[in-house]
Chain A
Amino acid sequence: MNLRFHWMLPKGGEVIPGQRQTVQEAARYRIQSTSSSSPAPRPDMPGWVHFVQHAEEAGIDSILISFSRYEPDPLVVSCALGQMTRKMKFIAAYRSGLIQPTSFVQQVNTLSALMPGRVALNIVAGSSKAEQVGYGDLLPHDERYERAEEFLTICRLFWEANGDVNFQGKYYQVDQGKIQTPFVDNHASMPEVYVSGHSEPAERVALSTATCLLRVADTPEKLRPLVARIREHGLEVCLRMEVICRTTREEAISVAESLIPDRNQPDAKRAVASKDDSQMYREGKTLPDNQNHWLNESLWTGLVPYYGPVWTTLLGTPDELANAYLAYKAIGVTQFIMSGWPELDEVVTFGREVIPRVRAAESGKQTTI
C-alpha cells in the first residue's frame, strides 16, 4: 500500500490567495494565532478553499482540522469545506468530554452522509487542564483517557449496532440509544479513528478503540518497537511533523534555523508552558536548549523547546525527504500529517518534488516483489 500524506489545515487568514508570505511571517502568524487580536479564530473559507484545492492537486489525502478554544469548530469547518471541494478528506479533531457520544455520532454520521468517504476523526483526550476546565471538563489527565475509551466504545457500538445501544460506564450511560442517520461510506461502516498522545493511557485507548495511532515523529530506530507493537494489533501508525523541502540541504537548514526565536522574544516557550498537562508536551520540554537538536540527519527538534513537539521538523532535499519517508515505511509507518511555512508553498513543493519520488520508489518496489 502506498504511503498516505495528510496536511494540517492552515489557520484562518494564514493563506491569502494572491499574497505571498515569507517563512518567518508564516511561522509568526501561527505562533500568534492564539492571541485574541489574531484573525485566526475566524473561519476563512476563501483562504481554506484555495489551500485545499492546491493540496488536492498536490496529492494530499486528508486535511487535519485541529480542535482548540482558539479555533473554529472542526466538524462545522469540515462540513463547509466538504461542500466547496470535491475529493479531499477531512480528519476532524475532537475532544471527548465536550459532547455526549450519541450526539457526536449523529453529527459525524450527518457529516459522512453529506460527503461520503471523506470523514475521519482524531480523538484527543484533552489538552491543558486550564483549557478543559473552560469547557466544563473537570477531570484529571489519566481519567480523561479512561473517559475517551468509554466515549469511543459507545461510538463504535453505534457504528456496529443493528439495534439500540446500551452502555453503563463510569462516565457515560446510554439507555436504548438510537441514531437513525447511518455512517455513509462505500467502503466502511465507521470512520477511521486516529487517537493521539504519547502517554501509556493514550496508547491503551488507541489499541482498544482506534484504527490509527497518531504521534509526533521520532527516528525510525526509536519508533521501530512501538510501530511493530501497534501494527501487530492491526492498527496503523501516523506521524506528525513539519517539513522543509529545498533544493539543497544547506538551504533547508538555513530556513529552519531562521525560525529559532530571539531569546528575548516574549512568545518563546509559550506553547510548551500552556500545555503542561500533556505527556507529549512534557517530553518536548525536557529537550535542553543547547543540545544538538539533530535526531538524525533529517529530523530536527530545534524549535520544539519554544513551540512544542509538533514543531519537530523533517528537512532536506527532495531525494533525502523521499528516502526518509521510505525509511519510515520500512518500519511499518503508513501515514503522515505535515505542515510547513508557509503552508501553501510547502504543500505545492511537497506534491511536486517529494510525493512523485516516493511513488516511483513504491511502484519500483512492487515490481520487484
Chain B
Amino acid sequence: MKTAQETSRVLTTKSHSPAALPDLPGWLKFAQAAESMGIESVLLSFSRYEPDTILAACATGQLTTKLKFIVAYRMGLMQPATFVQQINTLSGVIGGRVALNIVAGSSAAEQRGYGDFLEHDERYARADEYLNVCHAFWKSNGEVSFSGKYCQLENGRLLTPFIAPDRQAPEVYVSGHSEQAQQLALKRGSCYLRLIDTPEKLRPVVQKFRQAGVEVCLRLCVICRPTRAEAISAAEALLPDKEIEKQERKILSSSDSQTLKHALSTADNVGWLNENLTAGLVPYYGSSAMTLLGSPDELARIFLEYKRIGVTQFIIAGWPKLDEMLIFGREVLPCIRKAEAQQGGN
C-alpha cells in the first residue's frame, strides 16, 4: 500500500514511478471492491505519465462484470473515425460499459509532445468539430462526411457499431472550467464534469446545464472519519514536504487550463470554501484535490444538498483510494440511499 504522499502527482509523474505501468492485479482488486460497494463507474485519467485509458479499460473490463469505465481522452491525438472505431470496439468487448471524458488538452507543452500544436481556445474549437463527427458516426446508419477547419472526411463509414444494452452512443462527460469548455459541454456533452465548489456558487451553473438537458458531475476528494475533527487531522497528516508543493505549484501555474489555475487561486486566496470543503491540499496534490471532509452524517447531508441544486453525479477520490472508497461505501452511501428512499426514490 502506498502512502498518500507517494501518490501525489509530482511523484507519480517521475520517470521511475510505477504509475506508468498498467497494474492489473491492483486495478482488479480496486474494481471488484468498487463493484461490491455500489460504485457505478471508475474514471481513467489521460496523460503521458499513465497507460492508455482505452486499453486499460479493455483489460480491466474483461475481468469485471458490472463496473463502467469513463475513459478520458484528448482530442487531436487521433482521427475522430479512428477514435469511434476504438470506442465502439471497446463497447463490444465489455458489454457497453464505457463512457467518455473528453478533455481538450492539459498543457500546451504536453500537447506538443503528442504532435498537437494548437493553443487553448483552438483546442476547444477542434474538440467541438471532433465530437460533432463522433456523434455523426453514432447517429448515422450510413456514411459520414464533414468539412470543418480541423476535421475533414468524406463518406466515412464504420461497420462496428457502439454496442450496449441501452444506448447507441456512449455518455460523454466534458470537463473544463473555461467558457469554451462549458459551451462544448452544453452543445456536445451528456454531462458537464467540473471541480466541486460550494452549492451556493454552483447553483446557477448547474441550473444552466440542467435546463439544457445536460447533467452535472462534480469531481472531488473525500475524507470521511467518525468526527469532523478527526477528518481535519487526517487531512493535515496528508501534507507532503515543501519540495512537492513547489513542484506541484509549478505544474498548476504553468498550465493553460482554467481548471488548474482556478483551483490554485482558490487554495491561496480562500482555503476553506465552507466548513466541510477545503482547497488546502490542491497545492500538493493538484486541482482535483478539492476535498470534502467530515463525519458520515455530515457528508451524506452535503451530497444531498448538491442533489437538491440539481447535481446528479460525483467522481470521488481519496487517500488511500481503496480505503477511502470502502469507508465511503460502508458509511456514507447507505445514509444517502436511505434519505433518497424516504424522499420518494427520485
* A165, A177, A184 — most chain B CB neighbours (10 Å): A177
The answer to whether B114 and A100 have CB atoms under 8 Å apart is: yes
CA distance A98 to B116 in the complex (A): 14
Per-residue CB contact flags for chain A residues 28-65 toward chain B (1 = under 8 Å, else 0) read: 00000010101011110100000000000000000000
The total of Cβ contacts below 8 Å across the A-B interface reads 180
Q: Is A181 an interface residue (CB 8 A)?
A: yes
Q: What chain A residues lie within 8 Å of B78 (beta carbons)?
A: 98-100, 103
The answer to whether B21 and A113 have CB atoms under 8 Å apart is: yes
The answer to whether B63 and A83 have CB atoms under 8 Å apart is: yes
How many chain A residues touch B (CB < 8 A): the figure is 56
The one of A113, A165, A178 in contact with B51, judged by C-beta atoms closer than 8 angstroms, is A113
Q: What chain B residues lie within 8 Å of A71 (beta carbons)?
A: 159-160
Known: A164-B113, A178-B48, A180-B13. Is A135-B160 also a contact (CB below 8 A)?
Answer: no
The answer to whether A174 and B115 have CB atoms under 8 Å apart is: yes
The answer to whether A177 and B114 have CB atoms under 8 Å apart is: yes
The answer to whether A133 and B52 have CB atoms under 8 Å apart is: no
The answer to whether A69 and B21 have CB atoms under 8 Å apart is: no
Q: Say how far A45's CB is from chain B's closest CB, in angstroms.
A: 6
Known: A76-B54, A134-B154. Is A180-B160 also a contact (CB below 8 A)?
Answer: no
Q: Is A294 an interface residue (CB 8 A)?
A: no
CA distance A138 to B153 in the complex (A): 8
The answer to whether B113 and A41 have CB atoms under 8 Å apart is: no
The answer to whether B22 and A110 have CB atoms under 8 Å apart is: yes
The one of A100, A110, A138, A172 in contact with B52, judged by C-beta atoms closer than 8 angstroms, is A110
Q: Is A73 an interface residue (CB 8 A)?
A: yes
The answer to whether B113 and A178 have CB atoms under 8 Å apart is: yes
The answer to whether B79 and A98 have CB atoms under 8 Å apart is: yes
Q: Say how far A184's CB is from chain B's closest CB, in angstroms.
A: 7
Q: Is A159 an interface residue (CB 8 A)?
A: no
Q: Is B55 an interface residue (CB 8 A)?
A: yes
Cβ-closest chain A residue relative to B61:
A80
Cβ-closest chain A residue relative to B109:
A176
CA distance A107 to B62 in the complex (A): 17
CA distance A182 to B78 in the complex (A): 20
Chain B stretch 298-314: residues in CB contact (< 8 A) with chain A? none
Chain B stretch 5-27: residues in CB contact (< 8 A) with chain A? 13, 15, 17, 19-22, 24
CA distance A97 to B78 in the complex (A): 9
The answer to whether A135 and B156 have CB atoms under 8 Å apart is: yes
Q: What chain B residues lie within 8 Å of A173 (beta carbons)?
A: 115, 117
Q: What chain A residues lie within 8 Å of B94 (beta carbons)?
A: 80
The answer to whether B88 and A72 have CB atoms under 8 Å apart is: yes
Q: Is B336 an interface residue (CB 8 A)?
A: no
The answer to whether A72 and B92 have CB atoms under 8 Å apart is: yes
Q: What chain A residues lie within 8 Å of B158 (beta carbons)?
A: 41, 69
CA distance A130 to B154 in the complex (A): 8
The answer to whether B156 and A113 have CB atoms under 8 Å apart is: no
Per-residue CB contact flags for chain A residues 88-130 toward chain B (1 = under 8 Å, else 0) read: 0000000001111111001101110110000000000000001
The answer to whether B114 and A73 have CB atoms under 8 Å apart is: no
The one of B52, B112, B113, B152 in contact with A107, judged by C-beta atoms closer than 8 angstroms, is B52
The answer to whether A107 and B48 have CB atoms under 8 Å apart is: no
Known: A69-B159, A134-B81. Is A79-B59 also a contact (CB below 8 A)?
Answer: yes
The answer to whether A98 and B93 have CB atoms under 8 Å apart is: no
Q: For the side of the interface on B, what is the size category?
A: 35 or more
Q: Is A280 an interface residue (CB 8 A)?
A: no
Cβ-closest chain B residue relative to A173:
B115
Q: Say how far A127's CB is from chain B's closest CB, in angstroms.
A: 13
The one of A107, A133, A137, A177 in contact with B115, judged by C-beta atoms closer than 8 angstroms, is A177
Cβ-closest chain B residue relative to A162:
B15
The one of B21, B56, B79 in contact with A135, judged by C-beta atoms closer than 8 angstroms, is B79
Q: What chain A residues lie within 8 Å of B85 (beta carbons)?
A: 69, 72-73
Q: Say how far B214's CB is from chain A's closest CB, in angstroms.
A: 27
Q: Is B155 an interface residue (CB 8 A)?
A: yes
The answer to whether B113 and A102 have CB atoms under 8 Å apart is: yes
Known: A69-B158, A83-B62, A137-B79. Is A180-B114 also a contact (CB below 8 A)?
Answer: no
Q: Is A364 an interface residue (CB 8 A)?
A: no
Known: A99-B77, A136-B81. Is A114-B154 also a contact (CB below 8 A)?
Answer: no
Q: What chain B residues lie within 8 Å of A212 (beta carbons)?
A: none
Q: Is B82 an interface residue (CB 8 A)?
A: yes
Cβ-closest chain B residue relative to A67:
B85
The answer to whether B79 and A101 have CB atoms under 8 Å apart is: no
Per-residue CB contact flags for chain B residues 125-160 toward chain A (1 = under 8 Å, else 0) read: 000000000000000000110000001111111111
Q: What chain B residues lie within 8 Å of A111 (beta carbons)?
A: 52, 55
User: Would you give 21 A-B contacts (Cβ < 8 Å), ordered by A?
Assistant: A42-B160, A43-B92, A43-B93, A71-B160, A72-B160, A73-B85, A79-B59, A83-B62, A102-B114, A103-B77, A106-B48, A110-B56, A111-B52, A114-B22, A134-B156, A136-B79, A176-B109, A177-B113, A177-B114, A180-B15, A180-B19
Top 7 nearest A-B pairs (CB, nearest first) are A41-B159, A43-B92, A180-B20, A134-B156, A99-B78, A177-B113, A175-B112
| Given A76-B54, A113-B21, A177-B113, 15 more pairs with CB closer than 8 A | A41-B160, A41-B161, A42-B163, A69-B81, A69-B158, A71-B160, A72-B93, A73-B88, A84-B62, A101-B115, A111-B52, A114-B22, A176-B112, A180-B50, A181-B20
